Structure 1
């Protein structure tokens, strides 16, 4: 049995007739090297099938050009869209994205973050996951900037990029009330999330301003099976709501499926329904979901700019919540 020996920078240097340090400079962004030397090294590297060891270079330079991204789930269609936008935006700046999955709990997230720090990442983006203040401090102590995406901590000083979730909840309430609906329910997301708390707070403000209270409330936990269970509990009764605001589109699709396919209710005639996010499938004719739009592109641009500023040594404060908009479709 034979084994294949890994090609090293020394092999490339010998073939190109240059020093090993010259090979290193060719594959180090911004390093000074003549065009003639660079051409010889790249030709030799191509012939030998050599690829530079990014992690080894990171140990020497202190810069890996890798950004760690932690996400809680990808079944919500908002996050695959965000992941693609983040990857494209960071790649244009010369960075690559290393994706890790984590559960909602702070303990699981902190285990994942600890692993990521071992990869010598230049920065971290945490998308809709919890992080303790202690872990955030540990990241800063390691010289790794952290940006929270679509989530914020109660602690001051943590860099976070969020939409105006409170205003989104208010827009949902105002729209359902304008339709003449009075028995209005709410299906909440994961109650440990700032997005959930702010959306519900804005929604309740809108109801109170119209002299209404919440007719029914269930928790979907940002999970499709739980959202369907919540819909069954809320609507499989004679005294049911005539409208419902669901804390994100992913859950809203499951709620609509239960209303129409299991309970025989018409949307919007019997139940008006509003979601949150405006994922691409919200516009599909099968759903035609009225929803609150988060501007994913603006959120990503703001996140990348903030992170790169921090990496470059410029201290950044959290930007103001980004605007949201009501998108009217057939469900309400």
Structure 2
């Protein structure tokens, strides 16, 4: 059997159009457009007829063509620096689902914390003509912010803040969270309390550290030590070894996030032979799923991630879609209070004063 060569004169099958769907469904072309436009109104009966006709004809709306007409791609760029911390995969999944439920598509880009890496990613997003950008654990330079502002592309920073008035941000109340952690350790009888801080180049790390200082100060105490753990497991482990190298060791450690807290606990138990919480109490920040596992049973400050995601999406889409409330079009700085989750990594020393 010989192969039959392709016929260059053969006519390609005609593309099914919205007019074809409208004709078969017995509705107007504008009705077809409304059915396939997220957020547009169409009755259930009309939508059912249009979708049945589209399925029968094999019709798929041309999203790219629509974006040329409307000037909007309905694409949101999500930029994240790293995923080792369990908090960020959870947040990205929730952000993606929330945006998709509102009819937007999502492009996820990885970018290092270097200025060059972030600049390249944001430029790619501008080239894709995204409608908006959400950054998670990523800093924006003044130049990048100006370029997004000039292009009319709103940016919302998730779990990170900057002083630039052009940028919106949504975080937990990190100062209050650090304050709450400090007071909990004081209330449970701890007096030599150290802090393995989150990276001090990030607002989250600085704010949690400030709240911790404020809490101890209000209790008449000063930190036993404060070391920048840079949100890194390896750095946090090294900081723990340094903290406990002398005989005058801390009786508690507040750690800038759970990702580092797990490293602190592992180092205390397996490298230094200390018991948690028998010898040392540990408090983290985030409440990622691993924190509740029996191996860690970590007391921590829970970030209200679902409320943070909802606020981020509402804020960004309000700016994109021209919300009727002019106040929502301006950049906002939103802080949402977290919750202290008490587990087994903190010892109540007030019940052991006579025996310690």
SS of 1:321 mapped into structure 2: strand
Please tell me whether residue 82 in structure 1 is matched to residue 91 in structure 2.
yes
Please tell me whether residue 45 in structure 1 is matched to residue 63 in structure 2.
no
Worse overlay, 58-67 or 116-125? 58-67
Task: Decide which of 278, 283, 307 is 2:292's aligned counterpart.
Answer: 283
Q: Note the C-alpha offset of 1:18.
A: 8.3
Q: How many residues align?
A: 323
Please tell me whether residue 128 in structure 1 is matched to residue 137 in structure 2.
yes
Distance 1:268 1:203 in 2: 20
1:278–1:293 Cα contact (<8 Å) kept: yes
Distance 2:139 2:163 in 1: 11
Q: Which runs of 5+ in 1 are unaligned?
A: none
Q: Note the C-alpha offset of 1:106.
A: 3.0
Task: Decide which of 2, 10, 15 is 1:11's aligned counterpart.
Answer: 15
Q: Note the C-alpha offset of 1:67.
A: 0.9
Distance 1:328 1:135 in 2: 41
2:165–2:331 Cα contact (<8 Å) kept: no
- List per-residue Cα deviations over 1:84-103 (Å, max 9, x = no partner): 11111111111121101111
The 1:137–1:280 alpha-carbon spacing in structure 2 relative to 1, beyond 3 Å, is same
2:145–2:166 Cα contact (<8 Å) kept: no
Please tell me whether residue 191 in structure 1 is matched to residue 204 in structure 2.
no
Q: Which has the larger radius of gyration?
A: 2
1:273–1:290 Cα contact (<8 Å) kept: yes
Written as runs of structure 1 = structure 2, the 5 A alignment for 1:111-126 is: 111-126=120-135
The 1:41–1:226 alpha-carbon spacing in structure 2 relative to 1, beyond 3 Å, is same
Please tell me whether residue 307 in structure 1 is matched to residue 316 in structure 2.
yes
The 1:55–1:238 alpha-carbon spacing in structure 2 relative to 1, beyond 3 Å, is farther
Q: Note the C-alpha offset of 1:139.
A: 0.9
Task: Decide which of 135, 140, 153 is 1:144's aligned counterpart.
Answer: 153
TM-score, normalising length: structure 1: 0.88
Distance 1:155 1:261 in 2: 44
Aligned equivalent of 1:66: 75
* Cα-Cα RMSD: 2.9
2:169–2:334 Cα contact (<8 Å) kept: no
Task: Decide which of 211, 214, 225 is 1:202's aligned counterpart.
Answer: 211
Aligned equivalent of 2:279: 270
1:309–1:316 Cα contact (<8 Å) kept: no
